Structure 1
Amino acid sequence: MLENFSISSIIAGSVVVFSLAILAYFGWKTLITSDLFQKGINLAQAKDYEGAEAAFRQVISLNSTNDVVRLFLGDVLNKQGEVEEAIALYREVISRSPKNPDAYLRLANVLIQQQQPEEAKTNLLQAKDLLQKQRQPEKAQKIANLLEQINAKS
């Protein structure tokens, strides 16, 4: 009986230690990721786009599911003239998170710069619809106004 209690205690203690180790690991990883993300934002604001790109790529290597970082990386790549790679990142985010209006907006912005107004309008319409569904009517109205301006120029 005492022997079973000792084995149970050892197993329970091992599970607790293992669980705490996992929590510590994820806490550390989250802290590192957060610091790198903030570093990337600061570097981008300082117009150090290469440094920002490196920081954002590190964040993605640590957390491959973070679409917000992909959007910022796309912005930085666009600023560096890497337009095709930026477009690919925005499309990847749209494919992964089709209800993310920011991805459609960023893609539309680059497409306007690339003289592709029809595809830009399609993405703006999608963003507007999503913002309306997400109960953000002010942002949706701004996009509607932008669409009117684009249509007036056409």
Structure 2
Amino acid sequence: MIPRIDERGGAPAVEAAIVAGILGLLVAFTVAGVRVAAAESATEQAARAAARLASIQRQPAGAAMVAAPAAREALSTRGVRCTALDVGVEVSGTLALGAAAEVRAEVVCDVPWSDLGIPGVLGTHRSRATATSSIDPLRER
């Protein structure tokens, strides 16, 4: 007589290990996605801060000088570390009294993937944001 082998149970430990691995990857990618969204939000905040601070300067050169430190401060306050940070400021319109003008600030921040919750992964995520701020046409010049 041939012994009968019970094949109903399989290997529950192997199945649990596979499910745990898949769940772990799902959690890791969810955390990374949330951190990427937070970095994007911080970059948008930095662009708004740079544009707002640049718009109250009296000279276009002064606007460019204050925008980068404002963006850097906004990013560090939110806990975002940039391996490369580029802040560009452009003044459109004329700065004559009564004329409409605005400042446009663009912030580009390269955030390492290791800071975004995926340790061991090389490279960076480029986060880019643009904001504009109107210059008060009746302000003291």
TM-score, length of structure 1 as denominator length? 0.38
TM-score, length of structure 2 as denominator length? 0.42
Higher relative contact order (CA 8 A, sep 6+): 2
- Give 1 or 2: higher helix fraction: 1
- Give 1 or 2: higher strand fraction: 2
| Larger gyration radius, structure 1 or structure 2 | 2
